[in-house]
Structure 1
C-alpha cells in the first residue's frame, strides 16, 4: 500500500494487517517514515523505502520481488498547490497504477475526496484525472470519496480551551459534513478488497450521525470545556478580497501565488459542504451521503480534551 505515513494510510495499514492480509507499505525514507515502518513491522507488515515521484523507484522498490494481488493508494499532495497536486494526486498515482499492472495486481483501491464533485481547485482536478485513468484501466477498482476528517475539524480545540473565540465563516451554517474517523475510513478501505458490492464503484462515505455545521462543532467544544460559547464571524467577502489581492500579486511573485492557492482552498472549504452533491438539484444532501463506522467527531473532541486536561 501507498501513503502509510499519513494518518489515514497508517489506519488503513492497521486494518489490513488486522484482517490478515500480507501487507507491504511503500514509504519515503525520513524520520517519520522510519518510525512508522518500525511500528508497522512489529505488527507484521513489510516496509520498503523509495521515492513516490520516481516511476523507476516505484517499480523497483515497491513491487519487485513479490506477488501482489491488490494496491491501495492513500497518497495526497501536502499543499494542494497546482504543481504538487499534479505531481502527486495524478502523476504518482498514475505511475503506481502502471507498475501495479506490470506486477500482476488485479484490484486498485484509491482514496480520493468527496470535494471532487465540484472541482474548482487544482488538486481536485488532478484527483479526477486519475480517477478517470483508473476507471479506464483493465483492473477492477474502488474509488473512495470520504467526507471531512476528524483531524481537519480539530484545529480550533486549543483556541477554545485557551478562551479564544471559535472562528466561523459567515453565520457558521454555510456548510455541513458527516465527519469520518481514520479508523472507520481505514476499515472501509480495507473492505473494498473483498466486498463485491464495493468494486467498480465510486463510493462517497461519511461517518455515523447527522450532518454537522461549523457552528454546531463550536457549540459542542465550548460545552465540553465548560465555557460559554464565543464566536467570531469572518465574512466570506473578506476571504474573496484576500484571494483577489493574492491572485494579482501572484502574477509577479511565486510566494504570493502559493498563498493565493492556499486562500482559494480555505475559501472552498468555508463555503462548500462535504456531502453528496445531488446532480439534479445541485444541492448538498445529507440523506444521500452514506455512513459507516461508529466513531463520532464529538467523542473525538471529548477524548482529546480528556487526554490533555491540564490545558483547560
Structure 2
C-alpha cells in the first residue's frame, strides 16, 4: 500500500480523531489543521510538525501555513463540520471553510478531496443541510477527484438515554417509536471506510451513502435493547411529535421580534427533522426510505456500544449530538 501524505480537517472531533488514528495505523503521514483553541487528538500528538493551528476560512493563512511552497499533499480528507448546525455556523464551516480549503488545495495541485458529508442532505430542509449540499455541488464541479461520503446515524447521537434508563426512568419515544429507522455506524468503522476511500479508485468521483452492520433499527428497538441489557421490562413514555413541531413553530414566530431566538428555532427544527425522517437511503421514485438499499460496513454494533457504556467500558463525547 502506498504511503500517502494527507491533510486532515476536523481532527479534534470524535470522528476526526478516529480518522487520524486510522490514517496513522495504515502508515500514512497526517497533517491536522485545528482551531487555535482545539484540543489536540492523541493520534496527532506524535509530531509537532503534524499540527497547524489557524482559521481554515482565511485564504492568506492557508497559503502561508498549510499549502506552503514546496509542500505536497496527496489528498485532503475532511471530517470538519459545524458544531451546532445553526445557520451562521453552518454556512461558515460546512460551506465557506471547505470552499477556501478546496480552492487552496486545487491551486497547488492536490489531486483528491475526500469529504465526510451526511445522509440527511438527501432531503434538505435545514440550514446545515443546505450548506453541506452547496459545498458538495461545488466540489463536484471543481475538477478535482473527490469522494463524498454520506453516513447514517452515529452511535453518540443515539446514546443520550442510556443513563436515563439506567436510573430507572422510562425511555422517551417520539410517537410510537416505529416511524423512523437508521443503520448506525461507529466512529472507528466510519474512519476506516474514509481512509479506504483514499486508495480505492472504484469509490472516486461518487457520492457514497454508508451505514454500519446489521439491519436498520427503530427508536423503539433501541429502547427495548437497553432494557434487555439491564434485565428489566421495557418502559416507554411517548411524546407527541406535534409537540416538537409546535415548539419549533413558536420559536420561529417569536424570532421575528426577538432575533436571538432564531438559533433556538433552528435547533428545534433539527429535532423535528430527526423525529420524522429515517437515516436510510431515500428512494425518490417510490418516495420512501429503503433499508435494503443502504450499504453497510464495519463490525461495531450500537447494542454492543450500549453494553460497553453500561459497563463503564466506553464513554460518549456527545456535545450537541443529543436528542434527549
TM (normalized to structure 2)?
0.91
The corresponding residue for 2:110 is 105
Give the Cα separation in 2 of the matches to 1:73 and 1:39: 16
Q: Determine if contact 1:180/1:295 at 8 Å carries over to the other structure.
A: yes
Q: Is residue 2:130 matched to residue 1:125? A: yes
Closer, same or farther: CA 257–292 of 1 in aligned 2, 3 Å: same
Name whichever structure is richer in helix by fraction: 1
TM (normalized to structure 1)?
0.95
Q: Determine if contact 1:159/1:165 at 8 Å carries over to the other structure.
A: yes
Give the Cα separation in 1 of the matches to 2:25 and 2:13: 18
Quick one: which of 255, 258, 265 aligns to 1:260? 265
Q: Is residue 2:45 matched to residue 1:41? A: yes
Q: Determine if contact 1:25/1:45 at 8 Å carries over to the other structure.
A: no
Show structure 2 runs of 5+ residues with no match: 1-7, 315-324
- Number of residue equivalences: 306
C-alpha displacement of 1:43: 7.7
Which sits farther off after the overlay, 225-234 or 131-140?
Answer: 225-234
Q: Determine if contact 1:166/1:231 at 8 Å carries over to the other structure.
A: yes
Runs of 4+ in structure 1 off by over 3 angstroms are: none
C-alpha displacement of 1:224: 1.1
Give the Cα separation in 1 of the matches to 2:285 and 2:215: 22
The corresponding residue for 2:57 is 53
Q: Determine if contact 1:22/1:45 at 8 Å carries over to the other structure.
A: no
C-alpha displacement of 1:261: 0.4
Closer, same or farther: CA 14–43 of 1 in aligned 2, 3 Å: farther
RMSD between aligned residues = 1.6
Show structure 1 runs of 5+ residues with no match: none
Closer, same or farther: CA 308–228 of 1 in aligned 2, 3 Å: farther
Q: Is residue 2:204 matched to residue 1:193? A: no
Give the Cα separation in 2 of the matches to 1:230 and 1:189: 38
Which sits farther off after the overlay, 93-102 or 203-212?
Answer: 93-102
The corresponding residue for 2:76 is 71
